Amino acid sequence: MTIDLMDAQGLSEAHAAMRETARRFAAAEIAPVAAELDESEAYPGEFYARLAAAGLFGITVPEALGGAGADALAYALVMEELSRGYASVADQVGLVELLGTLLTQYGSPAQQERYLRPLLKAERRCAYALTEAEAGSDLGSLRTAARRDGEGWVLSGAKLWIHNAPVADFAAVLARTDPAAGHRGMSVFLVDLDSPGVTRGRKEHKMGQRASPVGGLAFDEVRLPRDALLGPEGRGFHMMMSVLDKGRVGIAALALGILMAALEDSIAYARQRVQFGKPIAEFQAVQWMIADMAKDVQATRLMIMEAARLLDGGGRATLAASMAKCFAADAAVARTADAVQIHGGSGYIRGVRVERLYRDAKITQIYEGTNQIQRMIMARTLLA
Ligand SMILES: Cc1cc2nc3c(=O)[nH]c(=O)nc-3n(C[C@H](O)[C@H](O)[C@H](O)COP(=O)(O)OP(=O)(O)OC[C@H]3O[C@@H](n4cnc5c(N)ncnc54)[C@H](O)[C@@H]3O)c2cc1C
């Protein structure tokens, strides 16, 4: 069953075509193996080569740099559809978009050649490394540092819970380059993860989105060439934050994909499960959970479209992107819990999709800025 809320809004032909490509790929290729990937925690590298070939990697990166040259709305549509198949796969597309945007905006032609093009062909894998043991929401407490050494740099420190750390070829690493300058004393480095002095921590076992590997990265006096510095020295914090508006629209769309899958399964199950001589869909208590789910799908989609419209128009999207991410993530967690409830005991059993959706949804309230941090951003914008 396909539920298409908002189709009346009308998408351009190009947007509809991109959504259709992602939808077909998700339904035919991703969804059938999602439970298996959740169980095995395997990294489905073959999907990414095919997504890259289908033009679904680097969606907003200009064509001249190897991307699809599309806009933020296209990115959101693709993220939703892929996530409806399996959030872990969308998650990887979101990570590539984040790095792709960073390299497009700040990379030198040589850095784009070395990192961006192979990334968009799925020949090299990336990581985006900010978080540390003492620096989660509070990135001002960052300890990883790089000091100048002749022509180049020496990097030391440790990152944790970094997407792709177990499999990435390179990472964009946020490090302190001027300890006295606070947020203005941080810079971004492109680090090849086979460099001497780099070690990878163990792969973590996660609650959900288990096919996106997460782990630590440690840097022990890692020597970096001068051109490992991405963008201007001292602008790293600003650069990493500047790509997060689009990133948060992507996470909102990923959460929306999870919501859509929960809604589809809840409707199907409520129609076929009979208790007290009738389908449970005839009980008002169940109907209202389904109605609330659809209401949140619709509201989430409108918020995402608005944030994407602002991004595509070049306006300030921070408030809209934080609102969309926060709303979508809260809705995904609450409504997947309802979906489990509608499924009764079967919703608690491994292999039944809503059980996985519930687990997959939770991290959307935590990564790319927790939902408490999103509320802080909203309040700061409103009260400025
Ligand atoms: C699966 C997974 C993947 C991840 N991927 C990456 C990645 O690729 N790259 C990367 O750099 N990081 C990544 N992270 C890290 C993630 O971004 C952080 O976990 C997140 O930013 C929160 O930091 P923390 O876990 O240290 O929580 P803390 O910052 O310690 O927060 C703990 C709690 O306190 C709340 N809190 C903190 N400060 C405030 C405040 N001022 N006001 C109100 N409440 C507050 C938080 O909202 C949270 O509820 C990942 C984490 C996970 C679990």
CA distances from 359 to 88, 354, 356 (A): 12, 9, 5
How far apart are alpha carbons 261 and 332 in whole angstroms? 10
Could you tell me if 103 and 116 are in contact, meaning their C-beta atoms sit under 8 angstroms apart? yes
Position in ligand 1 atom list of the atom nearest CA 131: 11
Cα–Cα dist 239/332, whole Å: 29
Q: Which pLDDT does position 190 carry in this prediction?
A: 98
Q: Which atom of ligand 1 is nearest to the CA of 373?
A: 47
Q: Could you identify the atom of ligand 1 that is nearest to the CA of residue 127? A: 8
Would you say 252 and 300 are in contact if contact means Cβ atoms under 8 Å apart?
yes
**Ligand 1 close to Cβ of residue 118 (< 6 A):** no
C-beta of 136 in contact with ligand 1 (< 6 A): yes
Helices (H) and strands (E) counted in the chain, each on its own, are 13, 10
Cβ of 363 closer than 6 Å to ligand 1, yes or no, is yes
Angle between helices 72-85 and 87-106 (to 10 degrees): 150
Our CA dihedral for 157, 162, 165, 169, rounded to 10 degrees, sits at -80
Residue 22 near residue 77, CB atoms below 8 Å: yes
Residue corresponding to tokens 């990166």: 61
- What is the whole-number distance in angstroms between the Cα of residue 219 and the centre of ligand 1? 21
CB-ligand 1 contact for 199 (6 Å cutoff)? no
Residue 63 has what DSSP assignment?
A: G
Q: Which atom of ligand 1 is nearest to the CA of 165?
A: 8
d(CA 88, CA 86) in angstroms, rounded, equals: 6
Q: Whose CA is nearest to atom 48 of ligand 1?
A: 370
d(CA 186, CA 181): 8
pTM of the model: 0.97
Pairing of strands 126-129, 170-176: parallel
Can you give the pLDDT at residue 6? Answer: 53
From 239, 367, 368, 371, mutation site for ligand 1 pocket: most ligand atoms within 8 A of C-beta: 367
> Could you say which DSSP state residue 32 is in?
H
Q: How far is the CA of 371 from the centre of ligand 1 (A)?
A: 9
Ligand 1 site, residue 137, Cβ cutoff 6 A? yes
- Nearest-atom number in ligand 1 for the CA of 372 is 47
**Is 368 among the residues known to form the active site?**
yes
CA-based radius of gyration for the chain: 21
Question: Are the CB atoms for 54 and 372 separated by under 8 Å?
Answer: no
**Positions in the chain short of pLDDT 70:** 1-9
Q: Whose C-alpha lies nearest to ligand 1, atom 14?
A: 161
Q: Could you tell me the distance, in angstroms and rounded to a whole number, from the CA of residue 319 to the centre of ligand 1? A: 19
* pLDDT at residue number 209: 98
Backbone phi, then psi, for 11, in 5-degree steps? Answer: -100, 155
CB-based contact 320:279 (threshold 8 Å)? no
Following DSSP, what letter does each residue of 249-273 receive, concatenated? HHHHHHHHHHHHHHHHHHHHHHHH-
Q: How many of the other CB atoms lie within 10 Å of CB of 256?
A: 29
Count of beta carbons in the 10 Å neighbourhood of residue 282: 14
Nearest-CA neighbor of 59 among 34, 81, 86?
81
- CA pair distance 220, 367, nearest whole angstrom: 26
Give CA–CA dist 94/263, Å, rounded: 23
| Nearest CA owner, ligand 1 atom 50 | 161
What are the residues whose beta carbons fall under 8 Å from the beta carbon of 194, sequence distance 6 or more?
Answer: 169
Between the CA of 93 and the centroid of ligand 1 the distance, in Å, is 21
Write the CA distances from 87 to 35, 295, 360, integer angstroms. 11, 21, 7
Q: Is the CB of 163 under 6 A from ligand 1?
A: yes
Specify the residue with its C-alpha closest to ligand 1, atom 29. Answer: 137
**3-class SS of residue 81:** helix
User: Which residues fall within 8 angstroms of residue 309, CB to CB, at 6 or more apart?
Assistant: 73
* Residue 230 CB–ligand 1 contact under 6 Å: no
CA of 79 to the centre of ligand 1 (A): 22
Catalytic, out of 80, 97, 355, 368: 368
Atom of ligand 1 nearest to the CA of 135: 26
- Among protein residues, the one with the nearest Cα to ligand 1's atom 37 is 137
What DSSP state is assigned to residue 235?
A: B
**Locate tokens 């203005």: which residue?**
184
Render pLDDT for 88-102 as a digit per residue (tens, 0 to 9).
Answer: 999 999 999 999 999
- Mean of pLDDT over the chain: 96
Residue nearest to atom 25 of ligand 1 (CA): 136
Report the distance separating Cα 58 and Cα 96, nearest Å: 6
- The finding on whether 352 has its CB within 6 A of some atom of ligand 1 is no
